Amino acid sequence: MGDHALSLLATDTRSFPPDPPGDLDDAAAIVRTDQQAFDAVERMKDHWARPGWSNRTRRLYWMLTFDKHRALIDRATQCQRALADLGLDPVPADGLHVTLLRIGDASAVAPAAVEALAEKVAALALPRLPLLAHPLAGSRGAVRFSVTPWTGLVALHAQLDQAGRELGVPGGSSTARFRPHLGIAYNPVERDARPVVEAVGALRRFAPVPVTVEAVDLVELRRDQSTYRWTVRRRVPLV
């Protein structure tokens, strides 16, 4: 299964990291790929300067959410406090998530299509995912945990994408560009990356946090000033 999932990914400069790791089940390889990519960043961008987004935007996504995972919340809070002097926008405890796949603008997907999509995914009886959240890496616009392994996440993305295609919902980026990650803080300004990279590197001493993903959420996402908020439209249990 790991080789098949790896074959679904491709190098893409629009993704971060552009190159996927060589082994989707090797935690060390995944963490190393994420960390090396972030360590090479020279300039960070304003995460919130995103074309097409405003406080009025409403979009449907498939996401994994973690508001019940106390150990993960505690580790994220610990890292956020250590980075407080950098002026990042921390993700609140009830806002931790892994974005899987955009479905489309809420105005472009009829409620009946949302229900049909959720029912189709529920019928797949997709498996629960045991994961590890590893401190700490980042991207050009955020600081984030690496998550491992990727095989189940990539397979989940591909199955969600296929379900949407079969029902004709607008959809988002292809699985080839998918790079699982769990953000804990967003960068709100253009800046030299070095202070952030160095501060993040000092937090890699923390052990990874185990979490088991028991559901995938179909959410209506919005932006509330310097954070993301959402309403869960459907929660699909994993089995």
| Per-residue pLDDT, 52 | 85
Cα 198 from Cα 147, distance rounded (Å) = 20
Query: Could you give the residue ranges of the DSSP H alpha helices within the chain?
Result: 2-7, 27-39, 70-82, 111-123, 151-167, 194-201
Cα 155 from Cα 151, distance rounded (Å) = 6
Specify which residues 130 forms β-bridges with. Answer: 212
Averaged over 99-124, what is the pLDDT? 97
Helices H / strands E in the chain, number of each? 6, 11
Indicate whether 35 pLDDT > 70. Answer: yes
Q: What are the structure tokens assigned to 226, written together?
A: 């310097």
- Mean pLDDT check: name the lowest of 48-52, 147-151, 160-164: 48-52
Indicate whether 177 pLDDT > 70. Answer: yes
Q: pLDDT tens-digit profile of 10-21?
A: 999 999 999 999
Q: Which residue has the higher pLDDT, 52 or 100?
A: 100
CATH superfamily assigned to domain 2-237: Cyclic phosphodiesterase (3.90.1140.10)
pLDDT band, residue 26 (cuts 50/70/90) = very high
| Per-residue pLDDT, 2 | 72
Indicate whether 67 pLDDT > 80. Answer: yes
Averaged over 46-73, what is the pLDDT? 94
Say what percent of the chain tops pLDDT 90.
95
Q: How is residue 89 annotated by DSSP?
A: E
Report the residue count for the chain.
Answer: 239
- Mean pLDDT check: name the lowest of 54-58, 67-71, 205-209: 54-58
Q: Which residue has the higher pLDDT, 188 or 55?
A: 188
| Per-residue pLDDT, 1 | 62
Indicate whether 62 pLDDT > 70. Answer: yes
Degrees, nearest 5: CA angle 46-49-54: 140
Say what percent of the chain tops pLDDT 70.
100
- Tell me what the pLDDT averaged over the chain comes to: 96
Cis before 136 (ω within 30): yes
